[in-house]
Amino acid sequence: MGILAKANAKKVLKEFLIKEPAKLDLYALAGYENLFIEERDLFSSEGQLVVKDGMGIITIDDKITEKGQKKFTIAHELGHYFNSGKKNGSYFCSGLDIRGIKQDITAEVDANDFAAELLMPEDWFVKFTKGKIIGKKLLSESAEYFDISLSAAALRYAEIGNHPVAVIMSKDGSVKWSRINKHFTFHFIRPKSKVNNLSYAYEFFNGEKIPDGPEEILADAWFAGAYNYKKDYFLYEQNIPMYKYNAVLTLLWEK
């Protein structure tokens, strides 16, 4: 994760004396920085930031209905603002960037890292999830406590949660990227590989209804080609669909 982006978010939380998630008011924070937040119909982006001479406008696509996603988008744009040192500039951010489906532009990844730390500071997130069993309930509770989307909570858990998980982003039937905790049994999923038909993620791309919660699957569904492949080895798989982008975020963990 972007160390500087994370440090920038920590600095903002400290400066604004924010000591718990409920005290974080993004509108007040933006207002203090002379950034006006508006919502309107955006065509090719989900969030925009334009900064000029100490003032700026954050625009959020009014088609985003989910509150957690809206918050994350504002936090992402604030990320560009603080990460750039409040310099003049414009950013036009696609949903693929903000939702982390695509991770090929450093400034976009850094803006997401800023948003994750601002909305779910590491210390609080670790404290909140410590000693609890990974699963749908914990992810939903985390999303509710931090008032963010389920996918943002899942990504955050994959980064700093205490149970080793693998997280995979797939789009249009192929793996875009994966992040695997070093304590997880298997270590590698080839980018661009086709999603295996033994997985529930495959069913999502096949247009079938997939289970809401975690399901047991054979490790073959994701790690058939692994150097340390294990036969009859079971994992849990949970999927968070992003219908608009024909993408799915998959979480895997061991029993």
Q: Which residues bind Zn ion (CB under 5 A)?
A: 91, 93, 108, 111
Q: How far is the CB of 77 from Zn ion (least distance, A)?
A: 7
Q: How far is the CB of 90 from Zn ion (least distance, A)?
A: 11
> CA 102, CA 44: separation in Å to the nearest integer?
15
Q: How far is the CB of 100 from Zn ion (least distance, A)?
A: 11
String of DSSP letters for 118-168: HHS-HHHHHHHHTTPPPSHHHHHHHHHHTT--HHHHHHHHHHH-SS-EEEE
State which residue, 91 or 222, has the beta carbon closest to Zn ion.
Answer: 91
State which residue, 51 or 165, has the beta carbon closest to Zn ion.
Answer: 51
The residue with its CB nearest to Zn ion is: 93
State which residue, 111 or 155, has the beta carbon closest to Zn ion.
Answer: 111
Q: How far is the CB of 73 from Zn ion (least distance, A)?
A: 9
Query: Residue 217: which residues within 8 A CB-CB, separation 6 or more?
Result: 198, 199, 200, 234, 235, 236, 237
Beta-bridge partner residues of 177: 169
> CA 217, CA 23: separation in Å to the nearest integer?
40
CA distances from 3 to 7, 15, 182, 191 (A): 6, 18, 19, 25
Report yes or no: 151 and 242 within 8 Å, Cβ to Cβ. Answer: yes
State which residue, 73 or 239, has the beta carbon closest to Zn ion.
Answer: 73
State which residue, 107 or 198, has the beta carbon closest to Zn ion.
Answer: 107
Q: How far is the CB of 163 from Zn ion (least distance, A)?
A: 30
DSSP annotation of 21 reads G
DSSP annotation of 194 reads B
State which residue, 98 or 219, has the beta carbon closest to Zn ion.
Answer: 98
Q: How far is the CB of 80 from Zn ion (least distance, A)?
A: 5
